[in-house]
Amino acid sequence: MKKTKCRCEFCGKEMGGRIQGIQKHIKNNHKIEAEKIPNLYMYSAKILYPITNTIMSKIVKKYKTGESINKLSSIFNLPYNVVKNILDYCNVEIRNTSSAAKQEIVRERYKKTVNERYGVENVSQASEIQNKKRETFKRNYGVDNIFKTEGFYNNWWNKMSEKEKEEICRKKTAGLGCKSTLEKKIQIALNTIGVEYTSQFYLKKKRYDFKIGNIIIETNGDYWHASPKKYKKDDIIKYPNNVFKKASDVWKKDIKKKRLAEKNGYTVVYIWEDELNKMTEQETIEWTLKTLKSNQ
Ligand SMILES: [Zn+2]
C-alpha cells in the first residue's frame, strides 16, 4: 500500500505523498544528509512504497524472464517509473522500448492477419477450418497450404517416398507449391512485419528468394537442396526429368550462389524446410524479425 503522507526523518516535517516532493524537500533542506543518500529517488520511493529487498529481487527476476515493466507494475502494484528505477538501481539493463513496442505491433498485426483470414484470433482456433481446407489442398495440390500443422506435414509429406514427392513436384501447380510453400511462409512473415522486400531477386541469372536491404533469405527445401541432415555427400539424388545429382554437387552449387551474393555485398541467411515446418506462423515471424535485426 502506498502512503499518502509521510514525515521527514531529519526534521519531522510532513513531506506529502509524492516521490518528487520528498526528493525536493531533502535536497532543499538537508543538503549534507542528501549527499550521503546514494539514490535519492529510491530513498523517497522506499518511504512511500513497501519496497523490500525481496520485492526488488522478485522484480529483477521476473523482468529477466521477459515480463514487461507494465506487467510488473500491475503485479507489484507500483508505478511504472518506480519499477523502472528499481531495475536501474539493481543495474538491470532496460530492454529497448522501441524493439519491445515493435514486437507488440507485430503481434497485433499477426492477430489481425489471422483474424481477417479465419475470423478467429488464433491459428489453432481455426483447426476446424484448417481440416476442411487441408483435405481440399491435399486433393488438389498436395503441399500448398501454409497453415498446415507440423503433424500433418510430417505425416503426409515426410512419409512419402522420394518418388512420390517427385511425382507431386512434377505437376505444374504442385511444383510451384513445393517450392513456394516455404517461400510463402517467409513472405507472410515479411508482410506481417511490414518491411520492404524483393522476392525472386536476380543476380547474374541466379534467383534468390528474398532480398531485404542487403540481406538475402533463402528457403531451402530438404530435397531440392539436398539437406545435409538427410543426405550424405556421395548420395545420388534423382530429380525430375531424369536428372541425377550428387548431394555434394548440389551443395557446391549453393555455395557458389552464396559467394556470388556475398561478393555483391549481401549477407545470405538460410532457413531449411525441416526447421521452417516446425515453426508456427508466429515463430516464423519472430525468426524473420530476429534474422533481420541481427544482420542489419
Ligand atoms: Zn526535513
Range ranked top by mean pLDDT from 120-124, 142-146, 238-242: 238-242
Q: Give dist(CA 273, CA 279) in Å, integer.
A: 10
Beta strand 206-212 with 198-203 is antiparallel
Residue carrying C-alpha cell 503433424: 151
Residue carrying C-alpha cell 536501474: 88
CA contacts within 13 A on the Cβ side of 203 = 20
Instruction: Give 96 or 246, the one with higher predicted confidence.
Output: 246
pLDDT at position 205, please?
A: 81
Distance 39 CA to ligand 1 centre (A): 17
Banded pLDDT at 142 (limits 50, 70, 90) = very low
Query: Average pLDDT of 144-163?
Result: 49
Report the topology of domain 172-294: Endonuclease; Chain A (3.40.960)
Least confident of 30-34, 140-144, 201-205, 286-290: 140-144
Where along the chain do its domains lie? 5-95, 172-294
Give how far Cα 16 sits from Cα of 33, 37, 48, 49, 115, Å.
19, 20, 9, 13, 49
Question: Is residue 157 predicted with pLDDT exceeding 90?
Answer: no
Distance 26 CA to ligand 1 centre (A): 6
Distance 46 CA to ligand 1 centre (A): 16
Distance 45 CA to ligand 1 centre (A): 16
Q: Give dist(CA 249, CA 254) in Å, integer.
A: 9
Banded pLDDT at 196 (limits 50, 70, 90) = confident
Each residue's pLDDT tens digit, 234-257: 888 888 777 888 999 999 999 999
Give how far Cα 265 sits from Cα of 216, 217, 224, 260, 271, Å.
10, 14, 26, 9, 20
Distance 182 CA to ligand 1 centre (A): 68
Distance 12 CA to ligand 1 centre (A): 6
Q: What is the mean pLDDT of the chain?
A: 78
CA contacts within 13 A on the Cβ side of 32 = 1
Q: Give dist(CA 292, CA 282) in Å, integer.
A: 15
CA 28 distance to own-chain centroid:
49
For the question of whether the overall pTM of this predicted structure is more than 0.75, the answer is: no
Banded pLDDT at 156 (limits 50, 70, 90) = low
Banded pLDDT at 152 (limits 50, 70, 90) = very low
Phi, psi of 130 (to 5 degrees): -55, -45
Instruction: Give 64 or 27, the one with higher predicted confidence.
Output: 27
Distance 90 CA to ligand 1 centre (A): 27
Distance 28 CA to ligand 1 centre (A): 9
CA-based nearest residue to 253, from 211, 215, 224, 295: 224
